[in-house]
Amino acid sequence: MAVSAPTLRDAALAQSPRARAQQTVAGVCGPPEIASRLQAMGFCEGRELTIVQGGDPAIVEILGTRIGMALSVAEYVTLRDGASATLLRSP
């Protein structure tokens, strides 16, 4: 039985509303048109991102830009092991 990698969707749903968590992108999957759009926005392997606000849509900061992302799209962004997430103080 294969264990699936954690996704941005999983992390956004687990995120408390006021907490921020820094994650590392493991990769992007899904339909080619969605995957290429996500990569163009900066969601590439090894890139750091911050989940600013969980929920649907989630607010994610990557490359200095905040992006509102529906959970249906966030499921295509895989993250490195969630245990390595860094919790950040809220501003």
- For the chain, the structural domain boundaries read 8-82
Q: Which CATH architecture has domain 8-82?
A: Roll (2.30)
Which candidate, 76, 88, 83, places its Cα nearest to that of 51? Answer: 88
Record the pTM.
Answer: 0.81
pLDDT, one tens digit per residue, over 4-60 is: 678 888 888 887 766 788 899 999 999 999 999 999 999 999 999 999 988 889 999
